[in-house]
Structure 1
Amino acid sequence: MSRAVLRLTPYKISEDRTSMPTYGAVCVRGDDADCGAESGQHVDTKPVDQWMARHTAQTGHDRYQQVFLSYATVALKDGPSLEAVKRS
């Protein structure tokens, strides 16, 4: 039997409000394989929606992976660390 000690430290994960999120799309429809065409990254969803509509009109492709990217910050929470002990 072994004994393991696991120490958990509380962290707070927050949206980084100093940066703008970005939106995009990738076409995942094609005849033999995914098309792979990309909308590019935008700070608004409207250009992405317009790109998907144009791409569908031009190719007939109708399935997309929507992409949302944002930044996060991680900081220790206030207060003492938590400690959990696991025994096997």
Structure 2
Amino acid sequence: MPFTITQDTTAEPEYAARCVSGDESECGAASGTHHTPRPVEEWQRKHTQETGHRRYRRNFGDYAVLQPRSDIAGLVPPAGGTT
């Protein structure tokens, strides 16, 4: 059955960054998780100003919802049914 995948608008996305600068080992300092990218970017700027570190691993997470495609006639089963 064909599905459409969309971002779940009932759940907020998550943004985070971790400093991976360092020759022998990574710094490892982390921004924490936020629901918008702005606080993460500000944390990166501040960390760079304080340490000179300029390499970060950024993470973005969200939730996805799969919905049966209703635009294909005859392929969407009734609730609890299958095709």
**TM-score range, shorter-chain basis?**
0.7 to 0.9
Q: Secondary structure at the match of 2:53?
A: coil
- For residue 39 of structure 1, what is the amino acid of its counterpart? S
Question: Which residue does 1:68 correspond to in 2?
Answer: 60
Stretches of structure 1 that go unaligned for 5 or more consecutive residues are 1-8, 82-88
Identity of aligned residues (%): 41
Partners of 2:15 and 2:24 in 1: CA distance: 27
Q: TM-score, normalised by structure 2?
A: 0.74
Partners of 1:31 and 1:54 in 2: CA distance: 21
Q: Which of the residues 2, 12, 25 maps onto 1:33?
A: 25
Q: Secondary structure at the match of 2:58?
A: strand
Q: What is the Cα deviation at residue 76 of structure 1?
A: 2.2
Partners of 2:46 and 2:59 in 1: CA distance: 18
Flag the structure with higher strand content: 1
Partners of 1:21 and 1:30 in 2: CA distance: 29
- For residue 54 of structure 1, what is the amino acid of its counterpart? K
- Which consecutive segments of 4 or more residues in structure 1 shift more than 4 A? none
Q: Secondary structure at the match of 1:67?
A: strand
Stretches of structure 2 that go unaligned for 5 or more consecutive residues are 77-83
Q: How many residues align?
A: 73
Structure with larger RCO (C-alpha < 8 A, sep 6+): 1
Question: Which residue does 1:85 correspond to in 2?
Answer: none
2:49 equivalent to 1:57 = yes
Question: Which residue does 2:8 correspond to in 1?
Answer: 16
Q: Secondary structure at the match of 1:24?
A: strand
Task: Name which one, 1 or 2, has greater alpha-carbon Rg.
Answer: 1
